[in-house]
Amino acid sequence: PSLPPVVFHWFPFIGSAISYGNDPLNFFFKCREKYGDVFTFILFGRKVTVALGAKGNNFVLGGKSTAFSAEDAYTHFTTPVFGKDVVYDVPNEVFMEQKKFVKVGLTTENFRSYVGMIEDEVDEFMKTDAAFLIYQMNDINEWGRFDATDVMAQITILTASRTLQGKEVRSGLDKSFSQLYNDLDGGFTPLNFMFPNLPLESYRRRDEAHKKMSQFYVDIIQKRKQFGDDEHDMIAALRTQKYRDGRPLPDHEIAHIMIALLMAGQHTSSATGSWAMLHLANSPETQEALYREQVENFGTPDGKLRSMTYEEFRKLPILDSVIRETLRIHPPIHSIMRKVRSDVPVPPTLAAPSENGTYVVPKGHFVLASAAVSQVDPIIWSNPEVFDPTRWSDPEGVAAQAFDTYADENGEKIDYGFGAVSKGTDSPYQPFGAGRHRCIGEQFAYLQLGVVLTTIIRRVELRLETDSVPEQNYHTMITMPKKPRNICFRRRNF
Ligand code: HEM
């Protein structure tokens, strides 16, 4: 056995940190040309072995948790923010139980009640926020403008707190909670990921904000013990849960899970919403199709649009394909990492140094999967850089072309079915990850994004201020649009 090839670099400790940090996709595609699908690069002293393609995704995400550990890769970064005894601060079996508890709060019944709440929040935001002044002035001929990401960041936290987080958090947003959130968020950056402990003001503020926020949630839980729960939120769900050994969740664990969910859902959804709006603004046809879908399904005889139910929401193929396509080109998380706990051989079908040999990824390395690469890989997708939601509904599109091409190349035919994509660890499309660490927020994110986007599209027409959709900024934890990212809007006449 031999080690995977190491990416050439000039400086020992820094390694390829700069090229990876500035543009990971470009870096990965270039390395693939030189070294193939499996290679190791140096990232501030860490040895990171990348496995590309659907098979690479399968290798990393389908790997055993005893060999590839998420907690060893992430805890230094997440525990100061989320807090003790949850997520990556506990052994994986315990976290798996915690994920099940969270699922109890993500039921269809809860989602039914969220549709109207999300619509209300967006409506209220557009009626009051300064970014929508023109809209409020009721002038249908004037164009106003807003920053896509600024607006989506606010709408995302407003709608998440109104629904999952609960009314105490929602009302806290108008007061001290926002500042705590911002301070905590300032400790959730690539710098914090690379260097767990630096004597910086942002680190101190992060720790301070964690303590206060944890106490904020504990206070809510205490009050609810006295006065009862709101039926449909996550705190209510978590309060009913017990570990297999019969132990209920202590207050601080509920608090820390709530912080983890807040952080997991905020930037991911808000980035996706920003990208979706930017693409819609750049594509009048897609925008019109999305608006038509609303009118056809929810138009009333008096020319208005009625609210939709959760069941109706789930049957809107154009909306669905807009979100899918946005997540294909802009998956918020470009790199998924695990720390290697014991030597793991690389399957020869993924990469082999010679006919019979195998590579081994040794204990102490990190492994990295990047769906961001397989989701825009020209070997798999036709016109991968083009935002084209119709590829998801076109019988000649994704199912027929992309995945068959992929399957044929590897000599085996995988039948993904019309418009459907495998959810397995070997899929080239996995914006929500795969395997045991797969996202549990997918349905909620689709609901939140879907209702936010349609509520906006029902009210205003969008146009991009610039010639093209902004470039991706990889310097943030979650891939964001670079500035300028202004969207012009005009009130619809309905
Ligand atoms: C895990 C993406 C929204 C909660 C993940 C992972 C990805 C992901 C790629 C896998 C991480 C890994 O394997 O290391 C996304 C995207 C979202 C989104 C693209 C929105 C568009 C949410 C929301 C929540 C959430 C709204 C909470 C309500 C979680 C949790 C995990 C997870 C609990 C499990 C982590 C683990 O098992 O290690 N997400 N997420 N996510 N996500 Fe999401």
Q: State the closest ligand 1 atom to the C-alpha of 102, by its place in the atom list counted from 1.
A: 33
For residue 142, what are its two tokens? 């004037």
State how far the Cα of 132 lies from the Cα of 151, in Å rounded to an integer.
10
Predicted pLDDT of residue 15: 97
Which ranges constitute the DSSP H helices of 414-464? 442-459
Ligand 1 center from residue 268 Cα (angstroms): 8
Mean predicted confidence (pLDDT) in 419-432: 71
Ligand 1 center from residue 263 Cα (angstroms): 10
Cα three-residue angle 18-353-345, rounded to 5 degrees: 85
Predicted pLDDT of residue 120: 97
Ligand 1 touching residue 474 (CB < 6 A): no
Q: What CA–CA distances, in Å, run from 185 to 159, 267, 435?
A: 18, 10, 27
- Give the pLDDT confidence of 140-151 residue by residue, as tens digits: 789 999 999 999
Strand 38-43 and strand 46-51: the pairing is antiparallel
Is this complex scored with an ipTM above 0.85?
A: yes
Ligand 1 center from residue 322 Cα (angstroms): 20
Predicted pLDDT of residue 230: 73
Residue 410 has pLDDT above 60, yes or no: no
Predicted pLDDT of residue 339: 98
Ligand 1 touching residue 271 (CB < 6 A): no
Predicted pLDDT of residue 422: 52
| Residue whose CA is at the smallest distance from ligand 1 atom 26 | 265
Mean predicted confidence (pLDDT) in 379-401: 79
Q: State the closest ligand 1 atom to the C-alpha of 430, by its place in the atom list counted from 1.
A: 9
Ligand 1 touching residue 350 (CB < 6 A): no
- Give the pLDDT confidence of 324-340 residue by residue, as tens digits: 999 999 999 999 999 99
Ligand 1 touching residue 73 (CB < 6 A): no
Ligand 1 center from residue 141 Cα (angstroms): 41
Residue 253 has pLDDT above 80, yes or no: yes
Compute φ and ψ for 376, nearest 5 degrees. -125, 25
State how far the Cα of 98 lies from the Cα of 103, in Å rounded to an integer.
9
- The pLDDT-based confidence of 397 (bands split at 50, 70, 90) is low
The pLDDT > 70 percentage for the chain reads 94
Residue 408 has pLDDT above 50, yes or no: no
Residue 282 has pLDDT above 80, yes or no: yes
Mean predicted confidence (pLDDT) in 298-320: 94
Compute φ and ψ for 482, nearest 5 degrees. -75, 155
Residue 175 has pLDDT above 70, yes or no: yes
What is the residue type of 314? R
- Give the pLDDT confidence of 23-44 residue by residue, as tens digits: 999 999 999 999 999 999 999 9
Ligand 1 touching residue 269 (CB < 6 A): yes
Mean predicted confidence (pLDDT) in 413-417: 39
Predicted pLDDT of residue 423: 59
Per-chain mean pLDDT for the chain: 91
Ligand 1 touching residue 441 (CB < 6 A): yes
Compute φ and ψ for 235, nearest 5 degrees. -60, -40
For residue 351, what are its two tokens? 């990469």
Predicted pLDDT of residue 398: 64
- Give the pLDDT confidence of 195-204 residue by residue, as tens digits: 999 999 999 9
Predicted pLDDT of residue 257: 98
Residue 138 has pLDDT above 90, yes or no: no
Q: State the closest ligand 1 atom to the C-alpha of 448, by its place in the atom list counted from 1.
A: 26
Mean predicted confidence (pLDDT) in 286-307: 96
Predicted pLDDT of residue 406: 42
Predicted pLDDT of residue 414: 40
Ligand 1 touching residue 264 (CB < 6 A): yes
State how far the Cα of 148 lies from the Cα of 99, in Å rounded to an integer.
32
Predicted pLDDT of residue 413: 42
Residue 459 has pLDDT above 90, yes or no: yes
Q: Model's pTM, two decimal places?
A: 0.94
State the maximum Cα–Cα separation within the chain, in Å, rounded to a whole number: 73
Out of 227-236, 246-255, 421-430, the most confident range is 246-255
Predicted pLDDT of residue 416: 38
Residue 137 has pLDDT above 60, yes or no: yes
Q: State the closest ligand 1 atom to the C-alpha of 437, by its place in the atom list counted from 1.
A: 37
Q: Which range is least confidently modeled, 64-68, 151-155, 403-407?
A: 403-407
Q: What CA–CA distances, in Å, run from 238 to 37, 165, 243, 441?
A: 42, 11, 11, 15
- Give the pLDDT confidence of 81-107 residue by residue, as tens digits: 999 999 999 999 999 999 999 999 999
State how far the Cα of 465 lies from the Cα of 408, in Å rounded to an integer.
42
